[in-house]
Structure 1
Amino acid sequence: MQSDQSITAVSAMVFADSLRAAGTDAFSAAVLTALNTFVAVDHCTLVSVFGQKATMAGAASLNSKPDALRLTEAYVGGYFLQDPLVRAEISAAGVRRDGPAVRSVKIDEASNAEYFERFFRKPSISDKLSVVVPGTDAISFLNLYKSTQRGRFDAREKAAISSIGDFLAALTDAHGRLSAAQSVSAVPPELLRRWQTLLSDREKSVARLLGRGETAKTAAAMLDLSPTSVITYKKRAFAKLGIARQSELVALVTLLG
């Protein structure tokens, strides 16, 4: 690990492989390797939260532990909603969009025992630091974890991560955009054309939310519409896209990212 030299000065060098890996499955591992040149991080995950849904954009562990991947899958499967930081950011969405930030939230073991047991005690995790990247319709979390063997993030490490928070946010955003572009290329050309040219912005917003698992009621609340209006927009979107099943919408939204 490097001493207290200027983190900003070395970032361009140590993150070169991360930049090259953006948009690929190797991204998280490259970021983890780069971070460990100046701070101690055992695990790294990248999660995107869309309202009440989440997706895993990447995960890596220094020791390639399979448990880290399984835990991340469980996390995006629903446990992320028990994460105090995620809950705080979801509550603030639409109220505060002050750009990326490096945040740490202490887990209250007494009131969140199951979450603490599953994601901290059992996998021997002692601390978590997150780079939070607000987006137009999603919030990305670059989560950095320390094992109990390494202790907690100290003041120097937190300052080091904070000093390149904007850079890590931009890197995370680039990875997301490149991944999305690759996904879009897998959408049948005619279906993509219909999505881009026939659907109104409101129809796209409704379709995205429903395709990510929101109900008509929750989508209506998020878009300030009535559930009846959401259903109307859904029917219009289905007709314009030429699809008839919810599973087709889910597949399309997944590919579009």
Structure 2
Amino acid sequence: MRSHGTGSGLGSGLTAGDITPAVLAIGRSDFPNILIDTLRRQADVGHCMVFALKRAGAATCLLDAGNIPIGGDLGAAYAGQFHQSDPNRDVLFEAEGGAPIMLPSFAPRMYGARYRKIFFHDSGIVDKCATAIWTGDTCFYVNFYRITAQGRFSDAERARLQTIAPAIGASVARHFQQDSTATPDQNLAALFTARAPLSALTPREQEVCRRILLGFSSEAISQALGISLHSTLTYRKRAYERLGISSQNELFSIVLGLLASPRGLN
């Protein structure tokens, strides 16, 4: 694999396309469902909750999706008062802006008795992984849970979450900052216009690459753009050469790497 200078941090056992559905759902109303489906496929995550934490002290539950029936109540309780007693709070608030944060492994002893009863015993949560990322004065705090029926995350599942966490966290942050009327192609178009190395492509090369990312076949791209199949393949070849890549998966990796970098959230 040739280097393109924008590595996404994806491990060798994970292909970029594995989390692409969540990335392409940014700004859409079905983002929560697609996100939890993606997390279930990748690491059998039971439930996901996202909180926005402000340096000024306020907290908001932005997303609650999965298999915990009282998830909404837990989100409201955490945002209302318990965020102040979260043992991860110091790690979150000491972090530098824009850098992905991976929180320490879950251990019940980290939490006070009341916190532990409400958020773990009463809800049936037996394990948790979490990641976070700051954009401006807002920390997007993404939590992944397993309940009693599932058991704890295996070492392999935890490692997989750590691998995809930067791109998942960046996608969540982008989603909650995104114009809800934008289509996936408009979101990609903005990324191709503003961010190197994608911005170095010609307009037609960008159009072809965007449709590759959206799952179009070469034949469908040709039809959509009104060009021959030969031209589509030529534009793809030239685009890959400019980017220093040789496969669709590497193209996905560039996009995910840009999303996981601080400027990818602007």
For normalisation by structure 2, the TM-score amounts to 0.57
From the superposition, tell whether residues 70 and 34 of structure 1 become closer, same or farther in structure 2 (CA, over 3 Å).
same
1:28 corresponds, among 20, 32, 41, to: 32
Shift of residue 139, structure 1, vs aligned partner: 1.0
Q: Which amino acid letter does the alignment assign opposite residue 87 of structure 2? A: P
Q: Partners of 1:111 and 1:132 in 2: how far apart?
A: 19
Separation of aligned partners in 2, 1:131 and 1:139 = 10
1:80 equivalent in structure 2? 83
Using the aligned pairs only, state the percent identity: 23
| Offset of residue 45 of structure 1 | 0.8
**What is the aligned counterpart of 1:56 among 61, 77, 80?**
61
Question: Does the alignment pair 1:103 with 2:107?
Answer: no
Q: The residue matched to 1:36 in structure 2 has which SS?
A: helix
In the alignment, is the contact (CA less than 8 A) between 1:28 and 1:45 conserved in 2? no
Give the structure 2 partner of residue 237 of structure 1.
Answer: none
**Does residue 164 of the first structure (1) align with residue 164 of the second (2)?**
yes
Matches of 1:36 and 1:21 in 2, distance apart?
A: 16
Find 1:67's aligned residue among 70, 81, 85.
70
Change (3 A) 1:31 1:88: same
SS in 2 for 1:37: helix
Q: Following superposition of structure 1 onto structure 2, how do residues 102-181 of structure 1 map, counting pairs within 5 Å?
A: 102-109=102-109, 112-178=112-178, 181=179
Query: Could you say what secondary structure the match of 1:104 adopts?
Result: coil
Alignment of 1:34-45 (within 5 A): 34-45=38-49
CA distance in 2, matches of 1:172, 1:110: 26
Q: Number of residue pairs matched? A: 170
Deviates more, 1:137-146 or 1:25-34: 25-34
* Partner Cα distance (1:136, 1:28) in 2: 23
Counterparts of 2:110 and 2:167, CA distance in 1: 36
CA distance in 1, matches of 2:154, 2:171: 24
Counterpart of 1:12 in structure 2 is 17
SS in 2 for 1:84: coil
1:82-125, CA deviations, whole angstroms, 9 ceiling, x for partnerless residues?
Answer: 211124312x14xx447103223444548600000000000000
Partner of 2:226: none
1:112/1:170 Cα in 2 relative to 1: closer, same or farther (>3 Å)? same
Q: Does 145-154 or 21-30 show the bigger shift?
A: 21-30
- Which whole-Å CA distance do the structure 2 matches of 1:60 and 1:111 have between them? 23
Q: Retained in 2: the 8 A contact 1:25–1:58?
A: no
Tell me if the contact between 1:46 and 1:142 (Cα under 8 Å) persists in the aligned partners: yes
Q: Does 1:47 align with 2:88?
A: no
- Tell me if the contact between 1:84 and 1:107 (Cα under 8 Å) persists in the aligned partners: no
Q: Is the 8 A contact 2:28 2:180 kept in 1?
A: no
Compute the displacement of 1:173 (Å). 2.2
RMSD of aligned residue pairs (Cα, Å): 2.5
Task: Give CA-to-partner distance per residue, 1:179-205, whole Å, 9 cap, x none.
Answer: xx459xxxxxxxxxxxxxxxxxxxxxx
Unaligned runs of 5+ in 2: 1-10, 182-266
Q: Determine if contact 1:101/1:131 at 8 Å carries over to the other structure.
A: yes
Distance across 2 between alignment mates of 1:67 and 1:34: 22
Match of 1:8, SS?
A: coil
Alpha-carbon distance, 1:6 to partner: 4.7
